[in-house]
Amino acid sequence: MTESQPLDRLWGIIEKFRVKAIITADPSPRTPSGNFFIYDCDRSLHRRLVFLPHESGERAGAFELCEDRHLLLAATVTIGGPESLIARALPEEVMVDLAETSDLAAVAELLVEEVTMPRCGGPAVFGRLCEVLVIRLLRHAIKAGVADVGLIAGLGHPKLAQAIVAMHEAPEKSWRLETLADVAGMSRTQFATGFKEVLGTTPGAYLSQWRLALAHLELEAGRPLKAVAARVGFASPVALSRAYRRHYGVSPREARSDSTPAELSRVA
């Protein structure tokens, strides 16, 4: 990352956490299941997108949208499995008026087309389009400031984002508070205070969470503990095992035996 290059706030997380999308079977306009919906509102082409990142089951009528709505698409979309910092960073409900966001509307139109006019390879196309839509939705969330506190808020901050991206892209580095403050172009005190106010946690705690989330993905993908510890910034396999048990309540070995690798695998 150089001064001549624009800051990419999303690459460090998108490359590691897989977007998984499943079309809800036979959705009903009255009782849709899933957490991702596209509606026509008030008998017009006025479309709304609703994403409930913390839900995976039925949420029939649980959100206010419009009095007369027609369901075009219902799906379950997950981002990186249950421990994804991306999903956890989003608010309970993300609602977008597609008439006001042309970049989202273009992809949403293709998604609706794939559902209403099924063709060969439809599920694969739907999954790829959902990945694109989620990235654009995250861009929208950062720009619109949909969250006051947390990762999305931090990535929207012009200075703190520099340090967050640095941690995302190089978790193995021995980051010190002073170094991160320099990356952000802030004093040590300004950085520590601002980080806690915007992200709701300390830089050290966030870095530890990020490293453990990456370790979780790497271990579930079958990589050896020693290699994972070095890749994500722990001093030793023992240090990783201890931190992992404190955070997740199980050892890496226990987590691996109970895992569902398809849900947590790292994007190749």
User: Residue 25 has what pLDDT?
Assistant: 61
Pick the last residue of a domain from 119, 144, 169: 144
Kindly state whether residues 191 and 115 are assigned to the same domain: no
Domain-located, residue 51: yes
User: Residue 221 has what pLDDT?
Assistant: 84
* CB contact set of 132 (below 8 Å; sequence gap of 6+): 107
Q: What pTM was estimated for this model as a whole?
A: 0.81
CATH code of 217's domain = 1.10.10.60
User: Residue 34 has what pLDDT?
Assistant: 85
Say whether pLDDT at 267 is over 50. no
Kindly state whether residues 133 and 32 are assigned to the same domain: yes
Kindly state whether residues 95 and 122 are assigned to the same domain: yes
Q: Could you read off the pLDDT of 19-51 as tens digits, one per residue?
A: 888 888 655 555 678 889 998 886 666 788 999
Q: Which structural domain, as residue segments, surrounds residue 15?
A: 11-144
Domain count, the chain: 2
* Residue 129: strand, helix, or coil: helix
Kindly state whether residues 140 and 172 are assigned to the same domain: no
- Candidates 137, 138, 22; CA nearest to 76 is 22
Kindly state whether residues 162 and 131 are assigned to the same domain: no
Q: How confident is the model at residue 228 (pLDDT cuts 50, 70, 90)?
A: very high
Question: Which H or E run contains 203?
Answer: helix 203-220
pLDDT-wise least confident of 64-68, 69-73, 154-158: 64-68
Q: Which residue has the higher pLDDT, 234 or 146?
A: 234
Kindly state whether residues 174 and 255 are assigned to the same domain: yes
Domain-located, residue 6: no
Residue count of the chain, please give it: 268
User: Residue 49 has what pLDDT?
Assistant: 92
Kindly state whether residues 181 and 68 are assigned to the same domain: no
Kindly state whether residues 170 and 83 are assigned to the same domain: no
Kindly state whether residues 137 and 43 are assigned to the same domain: yes
- Candidates 266, 263, 265; CA nearest to 21 is 263
Pick the last residue of a domain from 85, 109, 144: 144
Pick the last residue of a domain from 144, 178, 206: 144
Domain-located, residue 3: no
Kindly state whether residues 134 and 220 are assigned to the same domain: no
Kindly state whether residues 140 and 222 are assigned to the same domain: no
Say whether pLDDT at 167 is over 60. yes
- Candidates 181, 101, 164; CA nearest to 133 is 101
Kindly state whether residues 253 and 207 are assigned to the same domain: yes
Q: Could you read off the pLDDT of 212-221 as tens digits, one per residue?
A: 999 988 898 8
Q: Which residues of 188-226 are buried (b: 16+ CB within 10 A; e: fewer)?
A: eeebbebbeebbbbebeebbbbbbbbbbbbbbbeeeebe
Domain-located, residue 5: no
